[in-house]
Structure 1
Amino acid sequence: MALNRRDVLAVTGLGLVGGGLGGAFLGAGPAAATAEPQQVRDGYGPLQKAGKELALPAGFSYRTFGAAGTRMHDGLPTPGCHDGQAVFDAGHGRVRLIRNHEIDLDIPGAKQKALGPRNAYDRAAPAGCTSSLYDIGAGKLLESFLVLNGTLSNCSGAPTPWGSWLSCEETTDGVKAGFEKPHGYVFEIPASARGPVDPVPLKAMGRFEHETAPIDPRTGIVYMTEDNGDPGDGFYRFLPRKPGQLAAGGTLQMLAVTGDRTYDTATGQRVGEVLDTHWVDIANPDPSDAEDNPGSVYSQGRAKGGCRFLGLEGSAWSNGGVTFVASEAGDGENGQVWRYVPTSHDAGTLQLLFESPNPKTLNQPDTVAVSPSGLLLLAEDGDGEDEAGGDNWLRVLTPSGFVANLARVIEPLDLHYWNPEDFPQPGPTGASELAGAAFTSDGRYLFINVQYPGLTCVITGPWRSGGH
Structure 2
Amino acid sequence: MPLPTPNSHRRTLLKTFLYGASASTLPWLTGCGSDGTSPVAAGGTVTPSGSNRFGGTAVNTAQFRFRNIGPLGEADANGVRVAQGFTTRVVAISNMPPASGATPWHIFNDGGGVVPRDNGGWIYCSNSEVPGVGTLGFQVPQLAPLANPIENLVPGLGGASALVFDPDGTVVDSYRILTGTTFNCAGVITPWKTWLSCEEIPTGLVWECDPFGQNAARSLPTLGLFSHEAVAIDSSRKLIYMTEDMPDGRFYRWVPAANDWPSGAARPMFNQGLLQVLKVGGAGVEGALKSPQPYTWVAAANPGSPQSDNRLPDTTVFDGGEGVWYQNDRVFFTTKGDDRLWMLNTSAQTIEVAYDLSTAKAPNNILSGVDNITMTPFGEVLVCEDGGDMQVVVVYPDGVLVPLLQIVGQDQSEIAGISFSPDGKRMYFTSDRGGPNPAGGYGLGFGMLYELQIPDSVPNVIL
- TM-score of the aligned structures, taking structure 1 as reference length: 0.72
Alpha carbons of structure 1 residues 89 and 200: separation in structure 2 relative to 1, 3 Å: closer
Which amino acid is the alignment partner of residue 200 of structure 2?
A: E
What does residue 239 of structure 1 align with?
Answer: 255
What does residue 296 of structure 1 align with?
Answer: 309
Which amino acid is the alignment partner of residue 394 of structure 1?
A: V
Q: SS at the partner of 2:270?
A: helix
Alpha carbons of structure 1 residues 255 and 59: separation in structure 2 relative to 1, 3 Å: same
Report if aligned partners of 1:53, 1:410 keep a CA contact under 8 Å in 2.
yes
Alpha carbons of structure 1 residues 90 and 122: separation in structure 2 relative to 1, 3 Å: farther
Which amino acid is the alignment partner of residue 67 of structure 1?
A: I
Alignment of 1:353-368 (within 5 A): 353-357=354-358, 361-368=366-373
- TM-fit CA distance, 1:190: 2.4
What does residue 452 of structure 2 align with?
Answer: 459
Report if aligned partners of 2:380, 2:397 keep a CA contact under 8 Å in 1.
no
Q: For the aligned residues, what is the CA RMSD?
A: 2.8
Give structure 2 stretches of 5+ with no counterpart: 1-50, 136-151, 262-266, 434-445
Which amino acid is the alignment partner of residue 333 of structure 2?
A: F
Alpha carbons of structure 1 residues 78 and 157: separation in structure 2 relative to 1, 3 Å: same
Q: 2:183 aligns with which of 138, 141, 153?
A: 153
Which amino acid is the alignment partner of residue 73 of structure 2?
A: L
What does residue 160 of structure 2 align with?
Answer: 129
Alpha carbons of structure 1 residues 404 and 252: separation in structure 2 relative to 1, 3 Å: same
Structure 2 distance, partners of 1:447, 1:247, is 29
Q: Alpha-carbon deviations, 1:415-461, whole Å to 9, x = none?
A: xxxxxxxxxxxxxxxxx211011112332211111111221111122
2:32 is aligned with 1:12: no
What does residue 431 of structure 2 align with?
Answer: 450
Q: 1:394 aligns with which of 392, 397, 417?
A: 392
Q: SS at the partner of 2:192?
A: coil
Alpha carbons of structure 1 residues 23 and 252: separation in structure 2 relative to 1, 3 Å: closer
Alignment of 1:100-179 (within 5 A): 100-105=127-132, 124-137=155-168, 139-172=169-202
Structure 1 distance, partners of 2:157, 2:113, is 21
Report if aligned partners of 1:21, 1:375 keep a CA contact under 8 Å in 2.
no
- Please identify, of 16-25 and 217-226, the stretch whose mean Cα deviation from structure 2 is larger: 16-25
Q: Alpha-carbon deviations, 1:165-202, whole Å to 9, x = none?
A: 11000012xxxxxxxxxx410000123323xx534321
Alignment of 1:45-444 (within 5 A): 45-71=71-97, 76-105=103-132, 124-137=155-168, 139-172=169-202, 183-194=203-214, 197-229=215-247, 232-241=248-257, 242-243=260-261, 244-258=267-281, 263=284, 265=285, 268-271=286-289, 273-287=291-305, 290=306, 295-297=308-310, 299=311, 302-303=312-313, 305-329=314-338, 335-343=339-347, 348-357=349-358, 361-383=366-388, 391-414=389-412, 432-444=413-425
- TM-fit CA distance, 1:92: 3.3
Structure 2 distance, partners of 1:134, 1:43, is 27
Structure 1 distance, partners of 2:385, 2:62, is 20
Alpha carbons of structure 1 residues 403 and 85: separation in structure 2 relative to 1, 3 Å: same
Percentage of matched positions with identical amino acids: 25
Q: SS at the partner of 1:279?
A: strand
Alpha carbons of structure 1 residues 18 and 92: separation in structure 2 relative to 1, 3 Å: farther
Structure 2 distance, partners of 1:258, 1:161, is 32
Report if aligned partners of 2:282, 2:293 keep a CA contact under 8 Å in 1.
no
Which amino acid is the alignment partner of residue 371 of structure 1?
A: T
Report if aligned partners of 1:376, 1:398 keep a CA contact under 8 Å in 2.
yes
Q: SS at the partner of 1:394?
A: strand
Q: SS at the partner of 1:215?
A: strand
- TM-score of the aligned structures, taking structure 2 as reference length: 0.73
Report if aligned partners of 1:100, 1:156 keep a CA contact under 8 Å in 2.
yes
Give structure 1 stretches of 5+ with no counterpart: 1-8, 26-41, 108-120, 173-182, 330-334, 384-390, 415-431
Alpha carbons of structure 1 residues 153 and 246: separation in structure 2 relative to 1, 3 Å: farther
Alpha carbons of structure 1 residues 363 and 192: separation in structure 2 relative to 1, 3 Å: same
Report if aligned partners of 1:372, 1:441 keep a CA contact under 8 Å in 2.
no
Q: Alpha-carbon deviations, 1:60-115, whole Å to 9, x = none?
A: 012222210013777643211111111011133310111111111499xxxxxxxx
Structure 1 distance, partners of 2:66, 2:107, is 38
Q: SS at the partner of 1:295?
A: helix
